[in-house]
A and B are shown apart, each in its own frame.
Chain A
Amino acid sequence: MTDQDILALFTKIIRDLLSDESITLTMRTKREEVPNWDSMNYINFIAAVEIELGVKFRVADIESFEDVGAIVAQTSAMLR
């Protein structure tokens, strides 16, 4: 999976999660910029990514992601 594939998957997941087809994530998107992407839906998002890709984030990672690009990078590293 390329980083762009992962980003596209993230967009799909967040659209499904928030029932909002207008969302398109970029590498620079921050969570606060996406309506309704609150802390509960952040955990739900992380859980959905873990389920879809069979990966597992460390607690330290989850607290430190600055933007979507950081999550993509970490996901990509775990998939390698």
Chain B
Amino acid sequence: MPQSPTLMDWLPTLSDFRGNLRAALAISDSGNRLEKLANIAQHRLGFLETIQLDQAVSRLGALEIPGFSTVRLAILASSTVDHLVPAIRVACLRRGLVVDVHVGAYGQHRQDLLNPASALHQFRPQAILLSLTAREAIAGVPIMATVAEVDQAIDRQVDELRNLWRKARETFKATVVQQTFLDAADPVFGSYDRLVPAAPSRLIARLNDRMSQAAASESVLLLDVARASERNGVDAWFDRGRWFQAKMEVSPPAAPLYGDLAARVLAAQRGLSKKCLVLDLDNTLWGGVIGDDGLEGIVLGQGSALGEAHLAFQRYALQLKARGVILAVCSKNDSATAEAVFENHPEMVLKRTDIAAFIANWHDKAENLKTIATRLNIGLDSLVFVDDNPVERARVRESLPMVAVPELPEDAARFVPCLADAGYFEAISFTVEDSQRAAQYAANAEREDLLGSSESVDDFLRGLEMSVSFGPIGTLDLVRATQLINKTNQFNPTTRRYTGDELAALAAAPENVTLQFRLLDRFSDNGLVSAMILRPDPGEPEVLEIDTWVMSCRVFGRDLEREAMNVAVEAASHRGVRSFRASYIPTKKNGVISNLYPSLGFARVEQSVPTDGATRWYLKLADYEYRSTHIARISK
């Protein structure tokens, strides 16, 4: 069967889909099987293949598997969306999310939200996607309507949406995602449409503008199909036949892309977007091979179409850097030769200082990517690796499946749209902290150098001149703390995940103790890098359970866990708490802290019933010996 056409050409093709699917289904261990299915999901799949893969996943049933988060997603729609569900689930699996989907009754989104007896209420969604068509929103606005009348009609629609969003959040504490309105309207006047306030295309554009503003003020996330359909062409998204037959607004061939767009937003909300763009050099950042062609021979910059194409790619990388994406280089070259291009080529847009980790040598690229991740102190699953060479790409995919490797087109002119459309760096917010992140990670590399020149670990830690500021998790900390709680797999003894709204509720509950920690050192402000949630046992208010404790891997090995426990013990003692309880629930990824609680003086609680290797720990606060660290405290 020929490969189904797909809009997602950054994903590599899979030569034998059936064989791979059969191989996955033959795996008896459900965790290994899901991992194999997730690996298949990394490939370019057509409409039918997506359905098949989803059915294979569904057969596993509802399960909790280490390394995969689960999400209950409700879709409330005024068009048929059932054919989009497999695509959403497969695209989420691509990002390590296992999604349980509830589709509300067609066009019944208001009733579903308002009626406490609805199936939606029983489902208890953690995320709600509102997928509404523009048709009903703009129906009834006469073509003669003035600007003021149009605005009034649109504001009424937006107010209704706002009420639905609030209802959804109040009732379910769910993340709300609003789909932008797809513009499938046909011209009525022609070019003059743009001058008629009530022309359908103008109404939809205005509606999307006002709705997006409202969404921003309500912390509602957007799924921008309007923009996506502008990029692919509305005919790729909307098929009139399917609308008349089945009231599908998104055509089946566009389903895989729709699923990916939805999954990006859900993943971004859980802090799973990529963080670092790793760039190859020869024939990626410039045309030609610097080692062979020399500084004068490589093609870059004005005067050559190919040179301009590479320049455009560099500019795009720089744009990404400005919004907080870390840039790195991984190239097979002599280091001095490669760096010289950055220093000396007059057309280079990217400068050496833009690159937080620069590796040019003749080693295996997979090994070099590991080094880059270590030097920047981020996970390999935060990397996107861009290389024009298909052999290098295949090699990296093979040995590091968690690294995203876009299938770069052969034509350098298409590099930017390939990377942009892949949506690796999907954001749900943009803050000053984001724009400074690249500098923070460059500081990580400097810290590594200090470590190299230090006599001992103690010497290194002293040399860092660290200080910590801390306090309860406040409103301003919620976005980052939620990101940390959902993203952290290593320093995470319980691997519990909370949405922003759930965390807000936990932080607001007076019986709980929540803490957030920001670590500074002489190289940079690392920002909020650790969070803790302590909750009292209902029967024993003088005992606090460490429900959640996470720490960014960026600050491992700096004694912050010791200082954090000092702080937690003080904060709890002030409240008359006598002891802490804690659990360590082992996963594939949190082995690094298997010794955390004993190292902090907790005693093991023997359990009569063994529970999947989970261990229980106990600390009497009166017996706690304060841990010495090299971290000063900044009082607030």
Contacts and interface: CB of A to CB of B under 8 A. Distances in A.
A59 B5 contact: no
B4 interface: yes
A39 interface: yes
A62 B241 contact: yes
A17 interface: yes
Interface in A46-73: 47-48, 51-52, 56-59, 62-63
B253 A51 contact: yes
A2 interface: no
Contacts of A63: 245
B430 interface: no
A11 interface: no
B605 to A, nearest CB: 47
Interface string A30-51: 0000000001100110011001
Contact of A43 (B5, B242, B253): B242
A75 to B, nearest CB: 15
Best-surrounded residue of B241, B242, B244 (most CB of chain A within 10 A): B241
A43 B245 contact: yes
A41 to B, nearest CB: 9
Contacts of A22: none
A6 interface: no
Contacts of B245: 43, 59, 62-63
Contacts of B148: none
Nearest to A19: B55
A45 B395 CA distance: 37
B616 interface: no
A39 B82 CA distance: 12
Contacts of B55: 19
Nearest to A43: B246
Contacts of A48: 47-48, 252
B46 interface: yes
A44 B4 contact: no
Given A13-B48, A16-B48, A16-B51, A59 B83 contact: no
Interface residues of A, number: 20
Nearest to A48: B48
Interface in B586-604: none
Contact of A52 (B2, B242, B246): B2
B83 A44 contact: yes
B83 A52 contact: no
Nearest to A56: B241
B1 interface: yes
Contact of A44 (B1, B2, B244, B252): B252
Contact of A47 (B49, B82, B253): B253
A63 B252 CA distance: 18
A58 B244 CA distance: 11
B241 A12 contact: no
Nearest to B21: A16
B313 to A, nearest CB: 32
Interface in B72-125: 80, 82-83
Contacts of A47: 47, 83, 242, 251-253
B51 A44 contact: yes
Contacts of B248: 43
B10 to A, nearest CB: 19
Best-surrounded residue of A16, A39, A57, A62 (most CB of chain B within 10 A): A16
A17 B252 contact: no
Contacts of A16: 48-49, 51-52
A5 to B, nearest CB: 12
Interface string B28-62: 00000000000000000011110110010000000
A47 B87 CA distance: 15
A16 B51 CA distance: 8
A19 B57 CA distance: 12
Interface string A17-28: 101000000000
Given A57-B241, A59-B245, A62-B245, A40 B83 contact: yes
A9 B52 CA distance: 16
A17 B82 contact: no
B82 A40 contact: yes
A19 B52 contact: yes
A50 to B, nearest CB: 8
A51 B244 contact: no
Contacts of A43: 83, 242, 245-246, 248, 252
Given A40-B246, A43-B245, A44-B83, A51 B51 contact: no
Nearest to A45: B48
B616 to A, nearest CB: 43
Best-surrounded residue of A40, A47, A56, A57 (most CB of chain B within 10 A): A47
B1 to A, nearest CB: 6
A39 B246 contact: yes
B66 to A, nearest CB: 27
Contacts of A13: 48
Contacts of B251: 47
A69 B556 CA distance: 66
B48 A17 contact: yes
13 contacts: A9-B1, A16-B52, A40-B80, A43-B245, A47-B47, A47-B83, A47-B242, A47-B251, A47-B252, A51-B47, A52-B1, A58-B241, A62-B241
Interface of A: 9, 12-13, 16-17, 19, 39-40, 43-44, 47-48, 51-52, 56-59, 62-63
Given A44-B47, A44-B51, A63-B245, 10 more contacts: A17-B48, A39-B246, A43-B248, A43-B252, A44-B83, A47-B47, A51-B4, A51-B48, A51-B252, A59-B245
Question: Which 10 residue pairs spanning A and B have beta carbons closest together?
Answer: A47-B252, A43-B246, A19-B55, A48-B48, A51-B4, A59-B241, A16-B52, A16-B48, A59-B244, A51-B253
